[in-house]
Amino acid sequence: MRTEILKLVENEKIIAIVRGIQPEKCVSVAEALYKGGVHMMEITFDQSKPDALENTTASIASVIRKFGKDIRVGAGTVMSAEQVQMAAKAGAEYIISPNTRESVIRETLRLGLVSMPGALTPTEAAFAHECGADFVKIFPSGNLGPGYIKALKAPLSHIKFLGVGGITPENIPDYLNAGCAGFGIGGNLVSASWTETGAYEKITEAARAFCRAVGR
């Protein structure tokens, strides 16, 4: 499983970030993404609502039941080892966080999942890699620009970076040239207004645009 996910990230490069969507709508979102060529989907925990964390695991499980391995599902905004365990139990294959926390990385690897913690500085990125991270998410990339990724890659060329935050089809080529191995795309791909109104065809159109931007 780990090998498959690692190859998929590097080959397809796009992970859709699905945030704040109820389980019953996640399957429709997944279908729209699949039609557009996106086969990786991060479903996030809402840390502001501890009593609703089960919604994330329910969404993960529902997408996996429907699509099997056609869509590879991960958990996002994972902040504790306990949440790693919850996500793994639901079937998540990779764990994404906004920060670098050693216990989260270690538990992810112990369970045989792929680790994608978030970092900002060279020190954080290097520490995440030392803890065993498979990819390091640079967040928020859009505020920093591709020049920042390029600067990080100069001394840290052994680390695989994911660009997350403010990524568009138009700026993806610059981030690829800067050295990004892949991208996490949230509102520019899975817009809350589209899901609220059932405009799933717009998600499919956006997915196709992002796929074209990475040369797929």
Name which of 182, 186, 185, 184 is nearest 159 in CA terms.
Answer: 182
Element of type H or E holding 211: helix 200-213
Q: Is 66 a catalytic residue?
A: no
DSSP string, 91-107: T--EEE-SS--HHHHHH
What sign for the dihedral angle of Cα 88, 6, 166, 157?
positive
Residues 6+ apart with CB under 8 A from 62: 23, 24, 26, 27
Peptide bond into 140 cis (omega under 30): yes
Beta-bridge partners for 18: 43
Q: Which of 42, 93, 107, 202 is catalytic?
A: 42
Q: Which of 13, 137, 160, 202 is catalytic?
A: 137
Residues 6+ apart with CB under 8 A from 151: none
Beta-bridge partners for 180: 161
Q: Is 137 a catalytic residue?
A: yes
Residues taking part in catalysis:
42, 137
